[in-house]
Amino acid sequence: MKKIVTPITDEAINEIAVGDMVYLSGYIYTGRDAVLPKVLELIESDGLEKAGINLQGSVIFHTAVSPAGVGPTSSNKLEIEGSIPALSKAGVKLHLGKGELSSKTIEELDKYNSVYAVIPPVTALLESKTLERKLVAFPELGMEALHLLKVDSFPAIIAAAHGKSIY
Amino acid sequence: MTMKQQEMIINKIKDTLVRAGSTFREDQKEAYRQAIKKETLPRAKWVLETILEDAEVAEKNRSPLCDDTGIPHVFLEVGPNKSVTGADLEAIRLGVAEGLRELPGRPMGIKGDDKQRLDQSGGLDEDSAGVLPAPILIKQVEEDVLRAHVLMLGGGPAIRGITHRVFHKHSVSVVTDEIVKRASEAVALLGCSPCALSVGIGRSQFEASSLMIEAMVYSNFAVQSDLEKKITDKVNESNVGPLGLKGATSVLATFMKVGPQRASGIRVVCMRPSCCFEPRMASVEL
Ligand code: SF4
């Protein structure tokens, strides 16, 4: 098992290959279809810093954050997959979710040296590996707001990297 | 019904719902252990081990197996000398609400009138108990018992499940081949595999869906009929694998209930690709 720690560097991404089983630790953002288009608007309007968001070397986990815990939603939903190129360009190094992505998205990931990993929907296990959780932006979206989690060894598999896909 | 009796039913249903949402049954754990032994692809093996580890942590902490905690479905068995009153049903409803708060269930109930609930403009109910249970199914049984089964049915299998007729052409294989075809496509799209296929075959959409639930209620991963085994083996040939990442284990078992049929050219088949945590069910005698 490889270990990945945030913030993720370009060098670390270069050492990752499709099919690698990894443990992910550090701070990770959460967001899904409701909030990711809003984060894209912040990128466009140069509003990330003011909103307290730093995407350099970051991870975005496609999940809601509810009292039940966290777990991946399908990353190929229009708003989620559509956010991947712009977020990668803005510094996101790892997108974490589930399901197959299109070949176009895989190319875009490669262009910005970013990767996609899938994580099993193992909520109880993830809860036991979550050290902190904090609301960052868009509180009106409730469990779909942008959150930041501090995690220790989230299990994942690299599903798309360097133009290649596991599917 | 006395207050004490009502409280007893509420508490039993509450506890059963929490167990359903947080616990694998022994036959389910064993099915995973066997699948782990058989898998040769390291990442498929690893996914299965991670799911089993999740089940162990969830059981220990009585916390949700998955953050999609599901929609509660209650199935009642009623023996010859038992009865179910409106007060019993109300206590069951209250028990479900308490169970959802305790688990806790994901607060995903949509508020508002018909239109608002359709387009989600009514907003989310922040109370976990805002997720109302599906209509209760009642089955007459020979055993003299009043027993409740609580199932927590996730959204993924609801998206990929199909209830549709099959023209049987007087052949069992025509029906099972169609189930295999529908299931193979559904399992590939589900993502949260390995699945347990839940199948009901009846004379109407309602009957087929009820039989599908009954198949889940009486399910046992270790007890498979020839037909169930044949469907499982055929769908596993698709090589979808755990989490859709390829491998031998796309389906762990099939649970099928064939009901009465009518003289006609069709059978109505309800096929639910139950995800890696389902049937997410626990039972209690009331
Ligand atoms: S399909 Fe099952 S495992 Fe997947 S998110 Fe829904 S409840 Fe969880």
Domain assignment of residue A100, given as a range: 2-165
Q: Which of A119, A141, A139, A115 is nearest to A129 (CA)?
A: A119
Closest residue, chain B, to A156 (C-alpha): B47
Best of A32, A63, A66 to substitute, by most chain B Cβ atoms within 10 angstroms, is A66
Specify whether the CB–CB gap between A76 and A102 falls below 8 A: yes
Task: Give the pair of three-digit tokens for residue B68.
Answer: 């999609």
CB nearest to A120's CB, from B50, B67, B128 = B50
Best of B19, B48, B54 to substitute, by most chain A Cβ atoms within 10 angstroms, is B54
Report yes or no: A70 at the B interface, CB cutoff 8 Å.
Answer: yes
Give, for all 167 residues of chain A, the pLDDT tens digit: 899 999 999 999 999 999 999 999 999 999 999 999 999 999 999 999 999 999 999 999 999 999 999 999 999 999 999 999 999 999 999 999 999 999 999 999 999 999 999 999 999 999 999 999 999 999 999 999 999 999 999 999 999 999 999 98
Q: Would the CB atoms of A68 and B61 count as touching at under 8 Å?
A: no
CB nearest to B243's CB, from A19, A63, A118 = A118
How many distinct structural domains can be found in chain A? 1
Q: Read off the CATH number of the domain in which A140 is found.
A: 3.20.130.10
CB nearest to B50's CB, from A74, A122, A127 = A122
Q: Which of A89, A85, A70, A88 is nearest to A31 (CA)?
A: A70
> Mapped to the 3 state alphabet, what secondary structure does chain A carry?
CEEEECCCCHHHHHCCCCCCEEEEEEEEEECCCCCHHHHHHHHHCCCCCCCCCCCCCEEEECCCCECCECCCCECCCHHHHHHHHHHHHCCEEEEEEECCCCHHHHHHHHHCCCEEEECCCCHHHHHHCEEEEEEEECHHHHHHCEEEEEEEEEEEEEEEECCEECC
Q: Would the CB atoms of A118 and B66 count as touching at under 8 Å?
A: no
Sign of dihedral through CA atoms B37, B39, B40, B46?
negative
What ranges do the domains of chain B cover?
3-285
Q: List all residues whose CB is within 6 A of at least one atom of ligand 1.
A: A 71, 121; B 66, 68, 70, 154-157, 192, 275-277
Q: Would the CB atoms of A68 and B104 count as touching at under 8 Å?
A: yes
- Residue position matching structure tokens 């099939």: B254
d(CA A77, CA B87): 44
Closest residue, chain B, to A160 (C-alpha): B245
Report yes or no: A163 at the B interface, CB cutoff 8 Å.
Answer: no
Q: According to the model, what pLDDT value does residue A108 have? A: 97
CB nearest to B67's CB, from A66, A157, A166 = A66
Ligand 1 pocket test: pick from B51, B275, B280 the residue with the most ligand atoms within 8 Å of its Cβ.
B275
Q: Would the CB atoms of B106 and A19 count as touching at under 8 Å?
A: no
Give, for all 286 residues of chain B, the pLDDT tens digit: 788 999 999 999 999 999 999 999 999 999 999 999 999 999 999 999 999 999 999 999 999 999 999 999 999 999 999 999 999 999 999 999 999 999 999 999 999 999 999 998 888 899 999 999 999 999 999 999 999 999 999 999 999 999 999 999 999 999 999 999 999 999 999 989 999 999 999 999 999 999 999 999 999 999 999 999 999 999 999 999 999 999 999 999 999 999 999 999 999 999 999 999 999 999 999 9
Q: Would the CB atoms of B51 and A120 count as touching at under 8 Å?
A: yes
- Nearest atom (ligand 1) to Cα of B155: 6
Ligand 1 center–CA A120 separation, angstroms: 10
Ligand 1 center–CA B62 separation, angstroms: 18
Ligand 1 pocket test: pick from B68, B69, B151 the residue with the most ligand atoms within 8 Å of its Cβ.
B68
Give B46's contacts in chain A (Cβ within 8 Å). Answer: 21, 155, 157
Give A160's contacts in chain B (Cβ within 8 Å). Answer: none
Q: How many CB atoms lie within 10 A of CB A146?
A: 26
